[in-house]
Amino acid sequence: MNIHEHYPMVYVDKYVIMPNHIHMILRIDVLSDFDGRPMAVPTISQAINQFKGWVSKRSGFYVWQGRFHDRILRNEREYTGAWQYIENNPINWQNDKYYVE
């Protein structure tokens, strides 16, 4: 599923799929319609739930835990830190608290 196709104002800036979890940086930009009014913006929960439903439907079974963890990246330093964490997560998988052989 391309989240951006379903929600034009939501972009997946970075992601990594790990053996038992996924990390993503989602960016939401406010768009205007033809009259210049802001379009309705989905919540992170709506976008993630849509994504989880799509993956489950495509795989034929539910593969997700009930909840997800999110946090707002408030500045460039936090954004860069999250980007680097996602980039390095596969390399550090054996040190992850969720590591399973």
In the chain, what are the domain boundaries? 3-95
C-beta atoms surrounding 50 within 10 Å = 16
pLDDT at residue 35 above 70?
no
Average pLDDT over residues 87-92: 90
Going by pLDDT thresholds of 50, 70 and 90, the confidence category of residue 2 is: confident
- At residue 38, the pLDDT reads 64
Average pLDDT over residues 67-89: 94
CA-closest candidate to residue 7, choices 37, 44, 53: 44
Residue 4, both tokens? 């951006």
Is the Cβ–Cβ distance between 6 and 28 less than 8 Å? no
Average pLDDT over residues 27-47: 75
pTM above 0.75, yes or no: yes
Residue 32 CA to residue 50 CA, distance in Å, equals: 22
- In this structure, the strands spanning 10-17 and 22-28 are antiparallel
- At residue 14, the pLDDT reads 96
Residue 100 CA to residue 26 CA, distance in Å, equals: 27
pLDDT at residue 16 above 90?
yes
Question: Which residues touch 88 (CB under 8 Å, ≥6 apart)?
Answer: none
